[in-house]
């Protein structure tokens, strides 16, 4: 049975200052601290430095994406997707790309966040709300770069917060941020 195409009502994203804002999301603060410890004095830890047995509480909410340098620029492909992520999306994401996510505007936003984390070579945290005619979801997400050679970002580890906010809670979080903590290009997309 083919699913009906989702019509986007709005997509909003606010970029969070990683160190200052993650206290709103203790599980993401823990993930950032873990990453930072594994990184040492390098720009990012290697994939092999990350031990799934050391993170059982967040493992279901982790996506691991390969960074692919292709003819059309940088792209990403999911290497693994935790069960919690699959449950939220209603499907297995392994082998898909952010641009394969639906609706398309949501996939483009996620792709842009991934690009930014690679270009900045630093963690990136966002709160995101997606409203379509079929669903409403808001969450906080942390992107953590990984580098096998200590120089090139070749993977991203995304961790979704266990807190799935309702719309009112999300708006309180965004309103509670100081204006200098909200990314100046906060995206709002309307329509399909």
3-state secondary structure of 40: coil
DSSP state, 121?
Answer: T
The pTM (predicted TM-score) of the whole model is 0.83
Pairing of strands 155-165, 62-70: antiparallel
Tens-place pLDDT, residues 40-99: 999 999 999 999 999 999 999 999 999 999 888 999 999 999 998 888 878 899 999 999
- Structure tokens given for 164: 């799935």
pLDDT over threshold 50, residue 121: yes
Contact 37, 57 (CB under 8 A): no
- Structure tokens given for 33: 């601290």
- Across-strand partners of 101? none
Tens-place pLDDT, residues 130-181: 887 887 778 899 999 999 999 999 999 999 998 755 545 555 565 655 444 4
């Amino acid at each position: 049975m083919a699913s009906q195409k989702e019509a986007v009502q709005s997509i909003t994203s606010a970029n969070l200052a990683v160190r200052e804002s993650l206290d709103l999301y203790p599980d993401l603060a823990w993930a950032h601290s873990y990453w930072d410890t594994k990184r040492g004095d390098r720009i990012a830890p290697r994939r092999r430095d990350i031990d799934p047995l050391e993170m059982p509480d967040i493992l279901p909410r982790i996506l691991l994406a390969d960074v692919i340098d292709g003819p059309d620029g940088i792209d990403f492909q999911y290497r693994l997707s935790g069960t919690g992520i699959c449950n939220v999306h209603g499907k297995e994401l392994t082998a898909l790309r952010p641009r394969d996510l639906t609706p398309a505007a949501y996939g483009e936003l996620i792709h842009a966040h991934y690009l930014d984390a690679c270009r900045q070579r630093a963690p990136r945290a966002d709160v995101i709300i997606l409203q379509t005619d079929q669903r409403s979801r808001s969450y906080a997400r942390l992107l953590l770069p990984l580098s096998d050679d200590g120089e090139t970002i070749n993977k991203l580890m995304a961790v979704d917060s266990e807190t799935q906010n309702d719309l009112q809670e999300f708006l309180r979080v965004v309103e509670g941020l100081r204006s200098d903590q909200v990314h100046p290009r906060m995206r709002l997309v309307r329509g399909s």
